[in-house]
Chain A
Amino acid sequence: MPKITFIGAGSTVFARNLMGDILSYPELAEATLSLHDIDEERLRTSEIVAHKIAAALGVKPVIEATTDRQKALDGADYAIAMFQVGGYKPGTVIDFEIPKKYGLRQTIADTLGIGGIMRGLRTIPVMLEMCRDMERLCPDVTFLQYVNPMAMNCWAISRATSIKTIGLCHSVQGTAQQLADDIGIPIEEINYVCAGINHMAFYLTFERNGENLYPLIRKVIEEDRVPDWNRVRYEMFKRLGYFVTESSEHFSEYTPWFIKRDRPDLIERFNIPLDEYIRRCEAQIAGWETLRKAMETGQDAFEVKRSHEYGSLIIHSLETGQPRVVYGNVSNNGLIDNLPQGCCVEVPCLVDKNGIQPTKIGMLPPQLAALMQTNINVQALTVEAALTCKREHIYHAAMLDPHTAAELDLDQIWHLVDDLIEAHGSWLPEYVN
């Protein structure tokens, strides 16, 4: 039975979903779940939840909880990362508040933009330390990486370590479900090929029994049925010819076209929720105590429902050989011809007992590749900064960020970066000039 290590297991809701998914497979029901977090209290909650899931399913896994990361990783077959470095406070709040002083407004700030860059710079060093532990303690581990910024983190891991890694998100399956709802066709009847970079992958095909469903998606626009919360992505579909993954609120900050100083009309017209991530975090924190109590003491039978996360499917396929397709973020070793070699791409991957085997995509339509290149520029420079600790590359990353560059001049960008580095203090490693 495999040993599965959860890093950042105090992300209780996410850990709960994955643990439930894993333990509902008979072949994995006696796995060892090793939970690790640096926050003892949250770790304890997740441990209680793990036992409740096992009891609800009537299965007998080995459940361990430890604040000692090396102990958790020792001999692991799978490691799953779901941690956050710097937390909501101070990390996220700084990433929103300081840019705002420069007039730079963001929605989510976890992928790209100045917030995504800083989040990447906080996360990558920790991620690499973990991988160094894995190289010593479990060199053959399969690392399922859920932490944002996905592309930057995975790219840094593949450049700097030997750990077999796949970056996972739910935006491909999530968006496919939303589109299926919009056109009123059951998702089970739909098949698609989607490819690109994380949070900016496009459905190259979207079909039912060989019938192209894009005309039905176009009808959603013609019939004025675009959901209010999804105006940005439908607009992009109109302009590019393909539908993008993730969400409208995310997408609005990956390009220079939607959040512009002196253009409040755009915010209104595209219904862009500025500071959305701040609101989500606040709501989650406010609800946490109640949720924690409910999860720890709830008398009701703990209902385990399968989530749509890929994690358990990958482990099950690797263990049993049942072939599955997942969308994985992997190194672009010739998978997408018109994106840079080695960058992190999101493509369909075959998973069976032979391992995680990315499928070859070839060329993307040129307008999609061009748009992704603008984001990959920022990722490349952030990774470069994190791996070399050269401060200049942080400025370069921010300078190349499409949204930041559209809003600020070069002096502003440099000052902004300086302010952020100072504010994050010891959450960042020492950078050399």
Chain B
Amino acid sequence: MSKITFIGAGSMVFTRNLCSDVLFVPALQDSTITLMDIDPVRLEQSRKVVQAIIDLRGLPAKLEATTDRRAAIQGADYVVTTFQQGGLDAYKLDIEIPQRYGVEQCVGDTLGPGGVFRALRTIPVLLEIGQEMDELAPDALLLNYVNPMAANCWAFDRGTGRPHVGLCHSVQGTSEMLARWIDVPYEEVAYICAGINHQAFFLEFTRHGEDLYPLIRQAITRPEIEGEEPVRIEIMKQFGYFVTESSGHASEYMPYFRKTAQMVNDELVPRFKSPSDHWFDWGRTGGYYRHCIERQARFENEYEAMIADGSVVPTNRSHEYGSQIMEAIETNRPTVIAGNVPNRGLIDNLPQGCCVEVPCLVNGAGIQPTKVGALPPQLAALNRTNINVQELIVEASLTGNTEAVYHAVMLDPLTGAVCTLDQIRAMVSEMLDAQAHWLPQFKLNRSVVTV
């Protein structure tokens, strides 16, 4: 019987999906699920939804909800983090301040000034959670879903040394999409995908040993396919491999696509032709932020009706790795996931210790990353431009040195392409001021944390 704790459980849709998955697993159906959020209203909404799943499926699982994080962590076997520090208020600042300086971010949760500040807000909380786990749940495994994945996990590793894995669905999602494009049943597809979160590449994509890249190269000549993923297709044409995470995201991790507002609106946005790209507003600046606001409002309006008619309860297990990991550990039945883990000799041409996304074996012995070796050099080089930013974020977070924040944004490929150094300094200063109350680490500027 496991205790599974969700920190940031007020993320209603995500909490529902992860809990539903967990409750599909026979070995986890008698677990205690503990939901924790600092917002009692949203916590209660999530509690009702999860309780509806338990009731409708008639399961023995026990459900708790608390705003007390220590109580939630106490005795946990798994701690799942899904919180968003600063919420949509902070996210708004992440998008709007940089936009005034000409940094046109579409999602802004991974890299760029938005990603940097999201990490700076998140890492102190993750480190506190790590300390509380040391004290209250020393054997617990952290499953981190909070973005920016790589910077957060890297800081957690350096700051706590605790076992953890960072999880995303971009690898599964992209592989499903590619299989659909080339009309090969997903069950028949095999792949090796590796790199960093949101910028991992499918090094192999095969069926029965047959390389499927030629079929992908054919598929992307079709206008409807090109219109679905114009940026990622462009990247594949230029770099030779298909990247995980969406075109909206991918466009802002490199300096090539979003140099000005005009370039975004007149050149990039028209290349998106598919309704499925609505969630990042077809590449427009701030697209995903607006989607988050709409989604939250919609769900808050509708969830009670959905509980009443049962439609809030998912009928299928999702492709999220969280429940698969817990199931594999509890039953010792092996599974394989794409996990974000410290690079201890896994990818030879990326820095030691940085956070990499590689295939991991999971069973009763825990999370066991497989060795990937060297990436094609152009992919490693691209990853390293992103890792530069992550490294400086981690440095800033663990030392409290604000200079490192400026360095991080200076090294961001998109920001560097559109701003002068003076502009970057002014922008970062403005963001530090605007977000100061979420950034406790910089109040202790002179006390250097040793790690």
The chain A residues found within 8 Å of chain B, CB to CB, are: 140, 188, 191-193, 205, 207, 210, 321, 323-325, 333-335, 337, 348, 350, 352-355, 357-360, 362
Contacts and interface: CB of A to CB of B under 8 A. Distances in A.
A360 B345 contact: yes
Contacts of B370: 350, 357-360
Nearest to A361: B368
A191 B332 CA distance: 7
A193 B363 CA distance: 10
A210 B139 contact: yes
B187 interface: yes
Contact of B371 (A192, A325, A333, A354): A333
Interface residues of B, number: 26
Contacts of B139: 210
B335 interface: yes
Given A348-B361, A350-B359, A350-B370, A324 B334 contact: yes
Interface of B: 139, 187, 190-192, 204, 209, 332, 334-336, 344-346, 348, 359-361, 363-365, 368-371, 373
A210 B370 CA distance: 22
A107 to B, nearest CB: 32
Contacts of A140: 209
Given A325-B334, A360-B346, A193 B192 contact: no
B86 to A, nearest CB: 35
A344 to B, nearest CB: 15
A354 B334 contact: no
Nearest to B369: A360
A354 B192 contact: yes
A429 to B, nearest CB: 33
Describe A's contact surface by its main secondary structure: strand
Nearest to B359: A357
28 contacts: A140-B209, A191-B332, A191-B364, A191-B365, A192-B365, A193-B368, A207-B364, A207-B365, A321-B190, A323-B361, A325-B361, A333-B373, A334-B348, A334-B373, A350-B359, A350-B368, A350-B370, A352-B190, A354-B204, A354-B336, A354-B359, A355-B190, A355-B192, A357-B361, A358-B370, A359-B369, A360-B345, A362-B345
B344 A193 contact: no
A325 B363 contact: yes
B365 A348 contact: yes
User: Which of the listed residues A188, A334, A348, A358 has the most CB atoms from chain B within 10 Å of its own CB?
Assistant: A334
B385 to A, nearest CB: 24
B244 to A, nearest CB: 16
A362 B204 CA distance: 25
B336 A350 contact: yes
A193 B336 CA distance: 16
A323 B325 CA distance: 13
B327 to A, nearest CB: 12
Q: Among the interface residues B190, B345, B373, which one has the most CB atoms of the partner chain A within 10 A?
A: B345
Q: Which 7 A-B pairs have the closest CB atoms?
A: A191-B364, A350-B361, A357-B370, A359-B368, A353-B190, A334-B345, A323-B336
Given A210-B139, A350-B336, A360-B344, A191 B363 contact: yes
Of the candidates A205, A210, A323, A324, the one having the most CB atoms from chain B within 10 angstroms of its own CB is: A323
Given A352-B190, A358-B370, 7 more contacts: A323-B335, A325-B361, A334-B371, A335-B371, A348-B365, A350-B370, A358-B371
Given A323-B336, A334-B345, A359-B371, A193 B361 contact: no
A360 B335 contact: no
B371 A352 contact: no
A348 B368 contact: yes
Most buried by A among B344, B369, B371: B371
A323 B334 contact: yes
B415 to A, nearest CB: 34
Contacts of B334: 323-325, 350
Nearest to A210: B139
Contacts of B332: 188, 191
Contacts of A360: 344-346, 368-371
Contacts of B192: 354-355, 357
Contacts of A362: 344-345
A365 to B, nearest CB: 16
B336 to A, nearest CB: 5
B361 to A, nearest CB: 4
Contacts of A207: 364-365
Nearest to B193: A354
A357 B371 CA distance: 7
A335 B363 CA distance: 19
A75 B361 CA distance: 31
Which of B139, B187, B346, B363 has the most C-beta atoms of chain A within 10 angstroms of its own C-beta?
B363
A354 B191 contact: yes
Contact of A205 (B190, B345, B360, B365): B365
B275 to A, nearest CB: 32
Nearest to B371: A360
